[in-house]
Amino acid sequence: MSNELIINSTQNGSRIALLEDKKLVEYHQEQTDKQFNVGDIYIGTVRKVVPGLNAAFIDLGYEKDAFLHYLDMGPNVRSVISFTKRVQSNRKSTSDLGKHKFEPEIDKMGKINQVLSKNQRVLVQVVKEPISTKGPRLSCELSIAGRYLILVPFSKSVNVSKKISSSDERKRLIRLVSSIKPEGFGVIIRTVAEGKEVADLDRDLTHLVDSWKMGVRKLRTAKPPEVVIGEIGKTTSLLRDVLNESFDSIMVDDQKIFDDIKSYIHKIAPEKESIVKLYNGKPKIFESFGIEKQIKSLFGSSVSLKGGGYLIIEHTEALHVIDVNSGNKSNREESQETTALSVNLESAKEVARQLRGARHGRYHRCGFH
């Protein structure tokens, strides 16, 4: 299977298409004027506590207040709050969490007004960008993502991606990361860390810890609402998350983006630097790779299947509905059961592809439906 990343520079940002065997499986948009990105860590102010929802609304400077549910605060939210207070009052000059006294964990069945109050400052992370009339969705379980690892402040656990199935490899990675991680931090080991040496993991971890230290320095003088730690650009974050050995090509139609990507890949995967290419063709890049046509067909409410069936996908206020239809497929099979099986098998693959695209909506990557 070939994997290609096609990047089209636009006036307002860039469009990013991920192809598997020339078929569009993910479509993303990066807007240069976008105010909120998933992963951004803010210092915000509690605007309102709503016991009935067991949630609070946080002012992040958006027209709609951001939403923070009690269950999204994390067990160590009191430690996050006490650390924030000490840093902003200049009583704590270090970012070392090993020297910070952890507060008792909150009760899973507790109430939000036992933890937060109006006008309180709180450190929060965007987990879902604003959609329609809703503001950003927030969490107090902070994390900073890297190439191989995810650094989790105010935690102590080391966890491994479930996609790493080898028991010996899981134990090896846990042992290595446990020996190099700083006290007061947890770590999530990503799938791409499989088989990597301790030097690679240590380099990634050092970069993440440096990001945390820079954020803490900024937090000392930050005024709500202000970004304390910002997520990297959409293009580079996508490369960080999906780049692996199966990638054949990264094609870009803009010199600056090309240079930025070459520089980033040189840092994270120098062996892949040669697959980055600058597109100079006459047709527009998305037209040349057949992407524009696929986008138009995929964003409609009707999705055709190769076997003659089709899907109808409709969006309601609460959910998306997918209706599977056999179309002219029913005229070519021997029985109703054969038709149903054939259409459902083909539909299952297409629905999975649709859901894969939709999953990225929380990162402001436009899902198919």
Instruction: Indicate which CATH number applies to the domain containing 23.
Output: 3.30.420.40
Q: How far is CA 172 from CA 104, 158, 181, in A?
A: 31, 12, 14
Q: What is the pLDDT of residue 296?
A: 77
What pLDDT score was predicted for residue 363? Answer: 32
245 Ramachandran zone, left/alpha/beta (phi>0; psi -120 to 50): alpha
Domain membership of residue 61 (yes or no) is yes
Q: What's residue 96's pLDDT?
A: 86
Asked whether residue 192 falls in the same domain as residue 276, the answer is no
Pairing outcome for strands 185-189 and 276-278 = unpaired
In degrees rounded to 5, what are phi and psi of residue 90?
Answer: 65, 15
Residues 265 and 330 in one domain: no
Number of domains in the chain: 3
* 175 lies in the same domain as 54: yes
Tell whether 223 is covered by a domain: yes
- One pLDDT digit (tens) per residue for the chain, 369 residues: 788 999 999 888 889 898 988 888 888 887 766 677 888 999 999 999 999 999 999 999 888 999 999 999 999 999 999 999 999 987 656 788 888 889 999 999 999 999 999 999 999 999 998 887 788 999 999 999 988 999 999 999 999 999 999 999 999 999 999 999 999 999 999 998 999 999 999 999 999 999 999 999 999 999 999 999 987 666 777 777 777 667 889 999 999 889 988 888 887 778 888 999 999 999 999 999 999 988 877 666 788 888 788 888 887 777 878 899 887 655 555 678 888 888 899 889 888 877 765 554 333 333 333
Give the Cβ contact number of residue 35 at 10 Å. 13
Question: 226-229 and 41-50 as β-strands: parallel, antiparallel, unpaired?
Answer: antiparallel
Q: What span, in angstroms and rounded, lies between the C-alpha atoms of 260 and 264?
A: 6
**Are the C-beta atoms of residues 249 and 275 closer than 8 Å to each other?**
yes
56/137 same-domain check: yes
289 contact partners, CB below 8 Å, separation of at least 6: 4, 6, 17, 19, 22, 251
Q: Whole domain around residue 328: which residue ranges?
A: 299-363
Count of other CB atoms within 10 angstroms of residue 186:
19
pTM for the model: 0.74
Q: Do 67 and 215 have their domain in common?
A: yes
Query: Of 10, 277, 227, 242, which Cα lies nearest the Cα of 124?
Result: 227
Same domain, 129 and 267: no
Same domain, 25 and 165: no
Count each helix (H run) and each strand (E run) in the chain, helices first.
8, 18
Separation in Å, CA 271 to CA 64, 267, 335: 45, 10, 53
**DSSP string spanning 204-244?**
HHHHHHHHHHHHHHHHTT--SSEEEEPPPPHHHHHHHHH--
**What CATH number has the domain bearing residue 66?**
2.40.50.140
Query: What residue type is assigned to position 10 of the chain?
Result: T
Q: Is residue 369 part of a domain?
A: no
CB burial readout 152-164, b (16+ within 10 A) else e: bbbbeebebbeeb
DSSP string, 51-99: TTTTEEEEESSSSS-EEEEGGGS-TTHHHHHHHHHHHHTTS-----GGG
